[in-house]
Structure formats: C-alpha cells, structure tokens
Amino acid sequence: MPGVLKAPLVVEFPFTRSLGPVQGAFLTGLRERVVLGVRTRDGRTLVPPVEYDPVTAEEIRDLVEVAPTGTVTTWAWNHEPRRGQPLSSPFAWVLVKLDGADTALLHALDVPGPEAVRTGLRVRIRWAEERSGAITDLACFEPYDGEPARPAGHDGEFEDAITGIVAPARLDYTYSPGRAQSAYIGALAGQRTVGERCPKCRKVYVPPRGACPTCGAATHEQVEVGPRGTVTTFCIVNIKAKNLDIEVPYVYAHIALDGADLALHGRIGGIPYDQVRMGLRVEPVWTRGARHPDHYRPTGEPDAHYDSYKELL
C-alpha cells in the first residue's frame, strides 16, 4: 500500500474586531502612553479594563488613569520564546498589578535571566516605538526601582479614538488526509479513480473517506470506478472566481462514475454550456502532469436512462 500523504497547510486569518467604549479607550490610551483602568461601583480599579463587572455583571464605564509602574504578582520563565510572543530573546511572562490597579495585566518582562525575577518585583512599562492602539504598544515591562509614577488623571477622552483592531493569526499544520483519501489521491496519480466498498450495504463511495456515511462501517475494499460516468445534476456558473482561469459561463456537475454509488464533482467541457443535460455520458480529460481530471467531456454515447442514476441524485 502506498504511504499516507502529508502536506503543509497554512491557516491565516486577519480578524477585524470592533471595540466598545472601554476597550477602545484603553487601546487608544496605549497609543498615547496612557494606561486606563475602569472603576467598579465598589471602588476596585480593573486593569486591563472590561465593560462589565466580572463579579456583578454590572455595566461599567468609569475610566481612570493608572500608573505605568507596578508590581509583579506572579511570573514564569520562558527560555524559548515562540513565534508571535512579545520578545524574541528569553523573557519572563508576568502578571503585573499597576500602581492604582486592583487586578493584574499579562505581559512580558525583559530581564537577563530567571534569577532577576521574583514575585513582588517592581517594574515599569517599556513603550513600543511605533504604536497603533494595540496591547503590543506596550512592548514589555522592565525592572524599575524608583517611586511609583503618578498618573496625570486622564479622563479617557481622546481626539481620534480607535474603534477597531485587526488581529492577524497564522497557524501552520502538516495535513494528512488519512489512509483512505491517500489511497484515492495515489490512484489519481496513475489516472485511475478508486473508491471503497462498504462491507454492509455494498455501496461504493468515491472519493472514499474510510467510512460508509450511511452504515457507519469502516470501508477497506478498493474498487476501481469509471473512467466514464453520467451527469446526475448540474449548474451553470456565471461568476468568475478569483484566481481561476476558466471562461464563464461554464457547467459544474455531479458525475456518477460507472460503478460508483456516490456522485463526485467536476466541470463539463467540450460541449456548449446550454447543451449539458442530466443523463449526459462523460469521460475525464487529463492535462499533462495534473493530479486530477481537468474536466469531463461527452463520450458520444446515448444518454443514460433516468432510472439508472436516480438513486444517486
């Protein structure tokens, strides 16, 4: 049996998020080197600020400036920073209670080694040189042995407050389609289409996924299907897809390959789009070096009778 396939798979997404009045003020403040907290009705100051009291769920809006200096409440030494983390050289993760705050903020502390960190260490903010209104405007913390800094009493009102952030993310995977689909893709390399037969209902599934979706049984018996097949249903595509070099309109169809009990998808070519019909007999057209048929074209045979494919619609 040929080996199981693997390929790199990158998932990248920029989440655009809107900010409410509290988070917007906090992140705008970071851009202006001002740290804002929010005061609860019982007089606690939460930094970073939230819109609802975590204890009472009451809406809170009372912004108050706190100091850029504070105290480490707990820490962890990160000797091998990972991609995206605040510092590329070894650093300490810290929770810091800023002077004037009652809760702690998570960030990085830049010190040479774990012996330079302890709970209770006094620290201050090191601002990023370029700031855009994000938690990363706070580059990191650094040790500080001076007096607590005095906040200027900012009220949280800004000229051009930011209302949203873009949070990019990227994750790298090594994707493997598993045993059944690897075998399917492997057969395609030899221009053969291979499905798997369910041991219970005897249906042949293509592409196979290793299980019969009707019976829930594992499938193993490989069955070569096609190459010819029957169009069971189709649609006419009139919108040009990005990065796709196909003239519109074109026909996208479900094709039941001979011997298969499940229709697969494919494009129909070699015939005007408005002459494609249910029951049309087709065969795959391969282009050199391709990993799957480029499209299917009419074989010239008479159309299949409806009864022969109605179960596959």
Partner 1 sequence: MTREIAVVAFAQTAHRRTSDELSEVEMLMPVLHEVLERTGLKTADIGFTCSGSSDYLAGRAFSFTLALDGVGAWPPISESHVEMDGAWALYEAWTKLLTGDADTALVYSYGKSSPGPVRDVLTRQLDPYYVAPLWPDPVALAALQAQALIDAGETDEPALAAVAARNRAAASSNSHAQLRGSIPQGDYLVRPLRTGDCPPIGDGAAAVILATGERARELCARPAWIRGIDHRIEAHGLGVRDLTDSPSTRLAAEKAGAFERPVDTAELHAPFTSQEVILRKALRLDDSVTVNPSGGALAAHPIMAAGLIRVGEAAARIHRGESDRALAHATSGPCLQQNLVAVLEGDPR
- Residue ranges in 147-176 that form contacts with partner 1 under rule CB under 8 A: 165, 167, 169, 171-176
Choose from partner 1, Zn ion, none: what does 84 bind? Cβ within 5-8 Å by kind.
partner 1
Q: Is residue 194 part of the contact set for Zn ion (CB under 5 A)?
A: no
Q: Is residue 200 part of the contact set for Zn ion (CB under 5 A)?
A: yes
What is the pattern of x (binds partner 1, CB under 8 A) and - over residues 25-64?
Answer: --x------------------xxx-x---xx---------
Structure tokens at 246: 């196909």
What lies within 8 Å, CB to CB, of 219 at 6+ separation is: 180, 196, 197, 198, 199, 205, 208, 210, 211, 212
Choice from 55, 166, 169, 215 touching Zn ion (CB under 5 A): 215
Q: Is residue 136 part of the contact set for partner 1 (CB under 8 A)?
A: yes
Q: Is residue 218 part of the contact set for Zn ion (CB under 5 A)?
A: no
Name the residue nearer to partner 1 (CB basis): 70 or 284: 70
- Which residue stretch of 131-139, 266-274, 282-290, 305-313 sits at the interface with partner 1 (rule: CB under 8 A)? 131-139
Of 268, 266, 297, whose CA–CA distance to 282 is shortest?
297
**Minimal distance, residue 289 CB to partner 1, in Å:** 26
Choice from 201, 248, 290, 313 touching Zn ion (CB under 5 A): 201
Residues that bind partner 1 (CB under 8 A): 4, 6, 9, 11, 15, 17, 19, 23, 27, 46-48, 50, 54-55, 73-79, 82-86, 93-95, 97, 103-108, 114, 119, 134-136, 165, 167, 169, 171-181, 209-218
